[in-house]
Amino acid sequence: MKGIRRLAEHLDISIGTVSRALNGRPDVNEETRRRVLDAAAELGYVPNQSGRSLRQGSTSSVGFMIESGSGIAGNSDNFFFGVFDGVQNVLGRHHLDLVVLPCSTDEDPAAYLQRMVTRRIVDALIISATHRKDHRIELLNKARIPFIALGRSGTQGPHPWLDLDFEGVANRSVDRLVAKGHRRIAVGAPSNDINLSFVYIDGYKAALERHGIEFDPRLVLRVASSELGGYQLAHDILAMDERPTAVVLVYELLALGLYRGLNEAGVMPGRDIAVIGFRESLVAKFLSPALTCFKLSLRDLGIALGESLLASMPAYAEIYPQGTVRRVWPMELVPGESDAFTL
């Protein structure tokens, strides 16, 4: 005899009552409920998830899809781990669990997601590394499964998302540099199809326009999303005939390679060229001269992400006002020395 049946037998009551007691239903005597709870603790009973899911039509977990090969995700894993922590925290408050679904590099992400969705091992999904045109979004819409994207997609029409404030960062970066006299500001951005580069570049263009500076497409440099991309970026910049006097970066790791590339050419960030990075990361803190960049709380971002997801799950309508979230997450300037160079 196993499971709830064992518990019921031990207490000499029916399994229905046990279930009701455990699930906090009102139609059970408080005295019996106490006995059930005690016995459950004593016998170490935990409901079988498959049984529950089958009957209820819902697992109590939400998935967070990542791409495990993720140079492409454009982030190092401590980024995601921080976010997981926040998401797990808010989900835990509602007896939901977070399971991370790592799509391997061997598999097509959309096919992987399709499998996860149809197998119904999660009730809702968070996707990340959103592409400009991302098939996963149509797929999730069609499956009518609640989801939110960490990162906007490009063209597919509106979908729920929470994203870093790329426009804000681009804006403030350009403002800061223009205030120091810069007019030729290069952009180093990942060359993959992840949408964030495009969002950033749009913000960059808008900022230039506000300052009456004409946009020069040659200043937009797309490179690999890795530290090597940053190295390449340094070479590209130094090779230009009208060399830019400032660079802004869309991806945290680029700073690493950029510094090295510039150093090798005897060009010092902050003295000979102004550099503003993107997200503050562990490595950015240790660059010298200190990189001007933007920071955020990963955990808080995760919490917001979790809450936004719950806001799209009908089952949590009483707790979270339902609605489609499309929101930008603010980032805070961390001034350094890398943009000290003034014209």
Please report, as ranges, the residues that interact with DNA according to CB under 7 A: 2-5, 13-17, 19-20, 22-23, 25, 27-32, 45, 47-48, 50-52, 54-57
DSSP letters spanning 240-260: -SS--SEEEESSTTHHHHHHH
Q: Report how far apart the first and last C-alpha atoms of the chain are (Å, whole number).
A: 81
Interaction pattern, residues 25-64, with its own copies; x per rule: CB under 8 A? -------------------x-xxxxxx-xx----x-x---
Strands (E), the chain: 61-67, 97-103, 124-128, 147-150, 161-164, 185-190, 220-223, 246-249, 274-279, 292-295, 326-329, 332-334
Q: How near is the Cβ of 240 to its own copies at its closest, in Å?
A: 24
Region near its own copies per CB under 8 A, out of 27-35, 77-85, 187-195, 269-277 = 77-85
Region near its own copies per CB under 8 A, out of 12-20, 126-134, 208-216, 252-260 = 252-260
Give 309's Cβ-side CA count (13 Å radius).
30
What angle separates helix 254-264 from helix 227-238, to the nearest 10 degrees?
Answer: 40
Q: How near is the Cβ of 170 to its own copies at its closest, in Å?
A: 25
Q: Residue 61 has which token pair?
A: 């977990």
Neighbour-count burial of 217, counting CB atoms closer than 10 A to its CB (0-12 exposed, 13-18 middle, 19+ buried) = exposed
Nearer to DNA, 33 or 135 (CB): 33
Q: How near is the Cβ of 31 to DNA at its closest, in Å?
A: 7
Percent of residues in the chain assigned helix, strand, coil, to nearest 5: 45, 20, 40
32 binds, among DNA, its own copies, none (CB under 5 to 8 A by kind): DNA
Q: How near is the Cβ of 306 to its own copies at its closest, in Å?
A: 11
Number of residues binding to its own copies, judged by CB under 8 A: 59
Q: Residue 141 has which token pair?
A: 């819409």
Q: How near is the Cβ of 139 to DNA at its closest, in Å?
A: 19
307 binds, among its own copies, DNA, none (CB under 5 to 8 A by kind): none
283: contact with its own copies by CB under 8 A? yes
286: contact with its own copies by CB under 8 A? yes
Region near its own copies per CB under 8 A, out of 95-103, 129-137, 148-156, 233-241 = 95-103
Positive or negative, the CA dihedral 92, 134, 143, 114 is negative
